[in-house]
Amino acid sequence: MPLDAETIAVSTDRAAHEWRRGRAVLLQSATGNYLALAAETLSETALDQALAQALALAGAGAAEAALALTAQRAAVLHILPNGHDTLLLPLAELPVPVPERASLIRDLADASRDLAAPLRGPYQRLRGAPPQAAAAAIKLAKVAYLLPAAVLIPLGEAVLSELLVRVQVEAITAYDQAAAESLKPVSQARLPVADAEDARLYAFRAADGGPEHFALVIGRPDPGQPVLARLHSECFTGDLLGSLRCDCGEQLRGAVRTIRESGGGVLLYMAQEGRGIGLVNKLRAYQLQDEGFDTVEANLRIGYAADERWFLPAARMLKLLGFSSVRLLTNNPEKVEGLAAAGIEVAERVPHKFPANSHNEAYLATKKKRSGHYL
């Protein structure tokens, strides 16, 4: 029976929060169940307890416990690729004594020590295609804004205590789509802002209970015409603190001015910090950039893609506001393609760039060279 939207949203969100607390969840799939823990929040006690529980229930199957890593992170650790986005390292073959396994697992997931204290392999991966549960575990870590790595302990058909939070692989796989499609406006108010006094702010919330997205509608744009629109991913450091490492703050304020001067439009403020990896992981990427890696390389080293955003939530918001066609303020071709793929006509791409400073020159150059931005 297909999962309903509420089950998808609630079960995945609960599991993600359990992982942020350092607790295990029961990951269920058609091919068997797994006791799963997030690598970033893993403790020796939690790992020992989970392995003991699995051994009691599944016997020798517990010996197949493994660490799931993304192909990007595995490449950094010089682990041979397997042709899949996810691979597994058997815990039994980790080159450390048993009491130190959790510490090594956290280090394997975390790129912050790669250069200062290189990890000594070689690390052996399991052969063959990883189970669907491995990719689902990586996705769950991303939903929780944790480092994308997880411990999987197979249980076969065995099931643990009812007190354990459960989530199906299918729910995690369908999570993004279900969350975007469940977005709905929950509040709105007139909001005069410094560069556009005639503005109204709308809040949109999804069924998963996650952070809200916002839309600032400036003036009275005509839904029958392509609306001037900006998709802006939230940036705490740039938007609020005025960080010079990026151009986000300038893009945000410049978009409001441009929209107001053009007679009206909409600015979507998306809860997609750090191109979808979250603020904590963005700070990790900044640390790596200070060690000489560019913004793309930094994301890949911590196990994420160069850009984890997608654009169905933005398309859903635009449609709920009555807009089906936009003149898009952006330098990013992926935004144009992503919005069009989500059912919004992009009638025109409107350039939206600002002068570099000494702190973000390399960042902007990387966006142009590595990500194809029109800069």
Per annotation, catalytic residue among 309, 327, 349, 370: 309
Give CA separation, 172 vs 31, 149, 150, in Å. Answer: 16, 15, 14
Q: β-strands 213-219, 264-270: how paired?
A: antiparallel
Per annotation, catalytic residue among 220, 307, 316, 370: 307
CA distance 349 to 330: 7
Active site residue 220: no
Contact indicator for 300, 306 with CB cutoff of 8 Å: yes
Contact indicator for 140, 172 with CB cutoff of 8 Å: yes
Q: What is the CA radius of gyration of the chain?
A: 22
- Provide the token pair at 302: 């911590």
Distance of CA 169 to the CA centre of its chain: 17
Beta carbons within 8 Å of 299's beta carbon, 6+ residues apart? 275, 277, 285, 305, 306, 307
Centre a 10 Å sphere on the Cβ of residue 106 and count the other Cβ atoms it contains.
18
3-state helix, strand, coil in the chain (%, to 5): 40, 20, 35
CA distance 159 to 34: 9
CA distance 231 to 100: 45
Contact indicator for 273, 279 with CB cutoff of 8 Å: yes
First to last CA, the chain: 49
Beta carbons within 8 Å of 241's beta carbon, 6+ residues apart? none
Active site residue 101: no
CA distance 61 to 155: 7
Residue type at 289?
Q
Rounded (5°) CA angle 168-59-131: 35
Residues with a catalytic annotation lie at 307, 309
